[in-house]
Structure 1
């Protein structure tokens, strides 16, 4: 796709929705946001178009409005910061025949407009002068390139547009961009107006310097070597050879090193991906290594890690910019690709696992981070119901589901898929760290000796938990100290649950009960009511919040004295106030709040 940010299609009319459906059939990763009272079948619905557009743009989505350009302009007036940071914004006519980039033209909007035009048989209304007249823009280089001197682009582009002679020196990189026909080749000793290099240089005034991703970095290190030491070593080697770190396309190593903290830290420091190779793959490259090692072969089954990794990335015919160097527990090598790019898809990635909370169910309560994680994943794992709730984001991605109660199996499956080099989302309702799957993932990682599983990068993406939505519906019952207690004895001994109930009652906490009771478990909730009755007034508010965030949602407020546990099921969250919690009728809506201050003090 032309942009790395998730794409939101904002649809206001049924005609626009038909065009959106055509696009989604060809680009299933896009998300259709439809006006709730006009559109039937959108992935997400909204009431206020302006608020939705502003919210999505603020979260970094690529916003495509199937509407008049003026609507987008008015919605985002005052939000545009500068051309280097604005996420793409496009207006697309309802019939899909005209695509107009409004913001972020050189950050994906122009390319996306052209893509839409190609798919829908329309036209891209590109207004940036460089693209229109030159067919390229110096501040929109190919993926992976780095523009080192953005302030110089405007003046050089103006000279090109004026038909003046602009010189170019290409020291490395893809010869097809920018097109040589637009420039005159800089002569020997001449300072080029546009310089393409992978060296560290000091640009002259007005010079455009571009760094293509021509270098592959290979790393070997001893087990659990210091991360700071590796970073300093690599920076020193690059500096001594005059190589720009921005020219590194990828970092290679043997797959046994996938869980090394030093390698992960180096990847983060250079902002470049790690690619891992099996020892047998690296051994095949031994005839091309300048410094093969029998010692390394005895250790891991190949005659080199650093040098072989860079050849696996840059090609067997790559030129070594730095042959293997060693410092203490580290080795590194650097190679420059010849006539092709560094293959950043070679080998496999260490793998990444997002443990994603999708909230209570309604898409309105799903975070932008959760949407991005799922949209950016190769596959999705989860309980069937949760996969259905996120179907708009999953699209055609492969899914792996299992039954309720098979949480450990889901966590293991997600980790195993990630260990194969995939980016995986493991979805659960609410928040993944609250009575959910994040803890299972870390239990498995802590207990395993499988280094491939330990190498997986894990990101926990928070979601809105049931108690948070219940509190919002009620008003502010958690306005002071509160605690959450699960009444399920499947994993927690009954004695421990009783101990926590008693402590919470004595501490006068507001409580929220998860898993309050099922068809089989019918005793602990009545016990909890009796324990609380001994420590707080019979008038204490009790809220029964059922099917939160779903069409069947209902909320009932009663008192501790009148609370009947028999009406509670597994779809209900029970909120019980402290001795200070108050409830009242707010124009027909039941409300509950707990004052912030102690002893009646207000702040």
Structure 2
């Protein structure tokens, strides 16, 4: 690889699209760039910042072309802003760019600097619009099968539905891909209550923003498209006063009724739940049940249970902390 100067590729996350939510560093990177490259829709989001820039617009499925274009310009000393909506590292251009760079033999000390500039992803911005649905464990799954086999996507959907994660579905539907969201719903209904809350957010923080609350059973009737993110709650998520909230679990430890914050009987602030790891290990060792019985009771792999039971009971020392447990 040869270079005629010290080029730079800046992988810029634009956030949801409104310039009110564009970070200062993202704005500065675009100002610094000689060339701005991106999907045409993303370029439009920052069109007021592009005076005097060389602008290269690419189609939706031309991610590798965008990365190659950025690399070619950086090789001759250009500073390039390669823009993605949301965060460049979450279904964005960071991954394809590094694939192209590594195939070309690039290393961090080879004369072309690469900077990743984070932006708020769709799950953050959509969650902010509907309440606090991500307060407990969550994950993101893309329903696009353009690059990922459907059985892989289906296994991931089944695993997280079974494990009771809150889930953000990216790329749920397009003009050509209409059935994937129906299959996702079908898989979730095998594990979740049909009344599980669902938020449908389209074009978050953009002029055509639209928010709809529905249920897992009825989500197929919602207006879902390529610019939509679907947030599916877990078994504890609720909607109240137009806000979707997933409890963190404070009620398991504290008597929150009536404004109290006292620990419940058997619980202690700053220590794991009585049903936390130490409590659970003590309980299963004392149960007298087989690994198979315990695996069925706790919905955990029998091999894992057997390994735990085969070890002497050694409990971690509890250390108080201030991490809002």
Normalising to structure 1: TM-score of the pair?
A: 0.41
Alignment counterpart, residue 369 of structure 1, candidates 22, 25, 33:
25
Q: Which residue of 2 aligns with 1:543?
A: 199
Q: Which runs of 5+ in 1 are unaligned?
A: 1-254, 259-347
Alpha-carbon distance in 2 for matches of 1:501, 1:433: 21
CA contact (8 A) 1:479 1:595 kept: yes
Compared CA separation, residues 451 and 461, structure 1 to 2 (3 A): closer
Alpha-carbon distance in 1 for matches of 2:120, 2:133: 16
Q: Which residue of 2 aligns with 1:420?
A: 76
Q: Which residue of 1 aligns with 2:114?
A: 458
Alpha-carbon distance in 2 for matches of 1:435, 1:408: 13
CA contact (8 A) 2:37 2:66 kept: yes
Alpha-carbon distance in 2 for matches of 1:474, 1:566: 16
Compared CA separation, residues 451 and 551, structure 1 to 2 (3 A): closer
Alignment counterpart, residue 174 of structure 2, candidates 518, 529, 532:
518
Q: 1:475 aligned to 2:131? A: yes
Quote how far apart the aligned CAs of 1:459 are: 0.3
Alpha-carbon distance in 2 for matches of 1:450, 1:573: 35
List aligned pairs for 1:336-375, cutoff 5 A: 348-375=4-31
Q: Which residue of 1 aligns with 2:232?
A: 576
Quote how far apart the aligned CAs of 1:562 are: 2.2
CA contact (8 A) 1:445 1:453 kept: no
List aligned pairs for 1:546-557, cutoff 5 A: 546-557=202-213
Alpha-carbon distance in 1 for matches of 2:11, 2:189: 39
Alpha-carbon distance in 1 for matches of 2:168, 2:124: 10
List aligned pairs for 1:149-228, cutoff 5 A: none
Quote how far apart the aligned CAs of 1:450 are: 6.5
Quote how far apart the aligned CAs of 1:519 are: 2.3
Quote how far apart the aligned CAs of 1:565 are: 5.2
Alpha-carbon distance in 1 for matches of 2:36, 2:171: 26
Quote how far apart the aligned CAs of 1:525 are: 1.1
Q: 1:505 aligned to 2:161? A: yes
Q: 1:597 aligned to 2:253? A: no
CA contact (8 A) 1:448 1:454 kept: no
Compared CA separation, residues 452 and 526, structure 1 to 2 (3 A): closer
Compared CA separation, residues 409 and 594, structure 1 to 2 (3 A): same
Structure 1 stretches of 4+ moved >6 Å: 450-453
Q: 1:378 aligned to 2:30? A: no
Q: 3-state SS of the aligned residue for 1:564?
A: helix
Q: Which runs of 5+ in 2 are unaligned?
A: 255-324
Q: 3-state SS of the aligned residue for 2:57?
A: strand
More strand by share: 1
Normalising to structure 2: TM-score of the pair?
A: 0.74
Alpha-carbon distance in 1 for matches of 2:93, 2:119: 12
- Which whole-Å deviations, capped at 9, do the CAs of 1:190-230 have from their partners, x for residues lacking one? xxxxxxxxxxxxxxxxxxxxxxxxxxxxxxxxxxxxxxxxx
